[in-house]
Amino acid sequence: MRPQHNTPEQSFTPEQVAAWIAATERKHATLHRLLAEPLYSTFREQALLQLSDLFKEALEQVRALSETLQANSEALCGCAARLREPSTVRRDRSARARAQRCQEGPSPEEIHEAERPLLDGFKSDGNQAVL
């Protein structure tokens, strides 16, 4: 069984890969039995030729799988980059807004100075209650 050569845009399914591996293993077993024939057997010559073809087919399948994996990897990288863009924009916008809020509000020192009379009032009321 020889699977179709998929273009890089088409992915191999796990079932297709498993079917190709099973078919290749069956071919290998058959060829192995033929190679066990006597040394000058025509079956042996045919088996060697078929084994060579099987090897070429396997190399082509590995090349096609590699192309597919490379294309899928590039597509995923592009997708991830597109997904990061809005997040980056939102993060930058949030950082700018946070910085702007910090600049608009009073500093911690100004808050402490504004609260000092109130705190002093609590302290003096507490001292009078103890006496």
Instruction: Kindly compute the dihedral angle of the four CA atoms of residues 7, 8, 9, 11, in this order, to the nearest 10 degrees.
Output: 90
Looking at the domain assignment, is residue 34 inside a domain?
yes
Task: Give the pLDDT score at 60.
Answer: 87
Looking at the domain assignment, is residue 42 inside a domain?
yes
Residues 69-93: tens digit of each pLDDT: 888 899 999 999 999 999 999 999 9
Looking at the domain assignment, is residue 126 inside a domain?
no
Cβ-contact 16, 3 below 8 angstroms: yes
Looking at the domain assignment, is residue 7 inside a domain?
no
Could you tell me which residue, 92 or 9, shows the higher pLDDT? Answer: 92
User: What is the number of structural domains in the chain?
Assistant: 1
Looking at the domain assignment, is residue 118 inside a domain?
no
Domain that holds residue 26: 14-105
Looking at the domain assignment, is residue 43 inside a domain?
yes
User: pTM above the 0.85 mark?
Assistant: no
Angstrom distance (rounded) from CA 94 to CA 53: 61
